[in-house]
Structure 1
């Protein structure tokens, strides 16, 4: 669910930022659509690549350290056994009970390595597929990132021959209202993943998304004034 949430947040925030910059610069509805859709495809793909590489790197790192632990269990068993004893002694085990715990864990090589990975290195294997993570990120980015563009898309289909007569600023405020609802929904989902209160998750996403959009709108407005005068 994490990939879905963060992909959705990035998709809605970045796409609405692009729409805001275009609206601030007074660009036409057609240009807003071109920039927004291009952002959906390019940035969505880039984020999915990042998600894939991140998961693959975590998996490779886990496997590398597991191989090291396996080698140490094979070649330095007494040292590794003593480390198991120290780990469980710190947990409060002692005497015969500690001996039995150590004997039980070290009686099975895979279990022994599992314990060392978790207790000593604090590493837990992520069994999720990097490809699945990338696909979920891309899908969420595109689906949620489409919300800021819906008003422009609907207008284009209803009035395809009159795109040049559209009122981008009016469509922008409609998109802003729709995106705000999207921010609230995705913020609620984020609260489920991060275990914070729903109000905090919704407010954080709404405020930060609105801040990004405001900065983009102002930047687009100022750049148009500056570059338009050249």
Structure 2
């Protein structure tokens, strides 16, 4: 199942949180060789995890992490503007209607259902919080993954060469895209909406303030 949790809520799910950060270390440091910091517990965290982001996390039946993604509003510090601003010509993306997604991570045992459900959550977040777009930075390998999932972004900039080549893209909210992702993932829109409503009920806009 999918859980929508702010960083300050992760203390209630220690097993889920620890395995998420450890899977991030495994994916980004071990498998991809990124220059990221790993703590003594084998967890990958960065300064954006200290900003109380919203996480979407696939929880396996044993309570561990299967996959996840991190959301932050572009009105505050985000990687697109702080780290990769040169890729978009030094013109920051800042809007109450656009959030950034980062740290798309899948555990080694994740299935295609997990990847699709996490991407589908982007549509639920846009719809639930009244956003027009989500934006993200991604590498070459993710282009194929997004295509398979059925949710390819509009690329607005790229930079670097070879393994270091990265892209900045935006995903507009599209009910048709949500339906396509749901179909390919084998997750019904009804179930996806239930996961979102279980987390937020009718108070998604009020809980949005936690990110301010």
TM-score, length of structure 2 as denominator length: 0.29
Larger relative helix fraction:
1
Of the two, which has the highest radius of gyration?
1
Larger relative strand fraction:
2
Structure with larger RCO (C-alpha < 8 A, sep 6+): 1
